[in-house]
Amino acid sequence: MKNIVLLGAPGAGKGTQAALIREEFHIPHISTGDILRRNIKEGTPLGVTAKKYIDAGELVPDDVVIGLVELRLKEDDCKDGYILDGFPRTIPQAESLDKVARIDVALNIDVPFDVIMERMSGRRVCACGETYHVSTLGDATTCQKCGKELFIRDDDRPETVENRLRVYEKQTAPLIDYYRKQGKLKDVNAVGEIDKIFEDVKKALI
Ligand code: AP5
Ligand code: MG
């Protein structure tokens, strides 16, 4: 299988599609956001550092995330492909990645601004990693997989969301051109039903 990078604005649906790719192709889903949030929950030194950036909607410093991804990619389960979700997020991160890995494809999960706002404001998450949206949850307040209570991510507050989108435009959107120039970029129009989008994702990965 391939080594895949998922690009896309906050709330575009990267995590949602990455979970489907993982199930279909049996390759690990490496989300730097999930790793950082786990460290915050466990109160590790990395988590303490990361929290102040994440809560402000800013990026965690490059050297911190580059180090943790490089370590993760050395693990055994990454031998036959992986999905990077939320990394790289800056040009220096992409350049560092190119020194230690061979990326085959960068999927750009492309969604207009108004849809992004809708997706992030309705997101509900579980500590187990599952993600839901209020539009499909009905009256449910617990995780369909593990039964735990769902909650709203701290950085989904409206003030933080605005800054995350600004940071995305300035620091992360240039990666679209970075991978286009390498001939690795595939755009996926990610408006519509999750399963339908996944069909296009699969086509882009063949
Ligand atoms: P991270 O966790 O990566 O957040 P993000 O990029 O802002 O993206 P999100 O997780 O918010 O959105 P998503 O695209 O995964 O969408 P989802 O599938 O949940 O990063 C968080 C923070 O950590 C950063 O701000 C930064 O501080 C730090 N960080 C992380 N990586 C870093 C790095 N490399 N360098 C520096 N700092 C880093 O979907 C959103 C919602 O929409 C859900 O409710 C979902 O159910 C719903 N949805 C999805 N698809 C559809 C659909 N087709 N139709 C209807 N609803 C849908
Ligand atoms: Mg995510």
Indicate the burial class of 20 (C-beta count within 10 angstroms; 0-12, 13-18, 19 or more). middle
Architecture per CATH, domain 3-27+80-111+169-205, reads as: 3-Layer(aba) Sandwich (3.40)
Look up 124 and say whether it is catalytic. no
pLDDT of amino acid 206: 86
| From 30, 84, 91, 133, mutation site for ligand 1 pocket: most ligand atoms within 8 A of C-beta | 133
Bridge pairing between strands 3-7 and 105-110: parallel
Of 153, 180, 184, 202, which is the active-site residue?
153
Residue 119 CB less than 6 A away from ligand 1: yes
Look up 123 and say whether it is catalytic. yes
- Condensed to tens digits (0 to 9), the pLDDT of residues 134-152 reads 999 999 999 999 999 999 9
15's CB contacts (< 8 A; 6+ apart) are: 31, 33, 34, 85, 131
- In 74-184, at which residue ranges do the beta strands (DSSP E only) sit? 82-85, 105-110, 123-125, 131-133
Nearest atom (ligand 1) to Cα of 56: 27
Look up 157 and say whether it is catalytic. no
pLDDT of amino acid 149: 97
- Condensed to tens digits (0 to 9), the pLDDT of residues 104-117 reads 999 999 999 889 98
Cα of first residue to Cα of last residue in the chain, in angstroms, is: 9
Amino acid letter for position 37? R
Domain ranges of the chain: 3-27+80-111+169-205
pLDDT of amino acid 158: 86
Residue 29 CB less than 6 A away from ligand 1: no
Q: Which of 143, 140, 109, 139 is nearest to 126 (CA)?
A: 143
Those residues of the chain that have pLDDT short of 70 are none
> For 75, which DSSP code?
S
pLDDT of amino acid 88: 98
pLDDT of amino acid 201: 97
Distance 33 CA to ligand 1 centre (A): 8
Rounded-to-5 percentages of helix, strand, coil across the chain: 55, 15, 30
Contact assessment for residue 100 and residue 3, using Cβ atoms and an 8 Å cutoff: no
Look up 37 and say whether it is catalytic. no
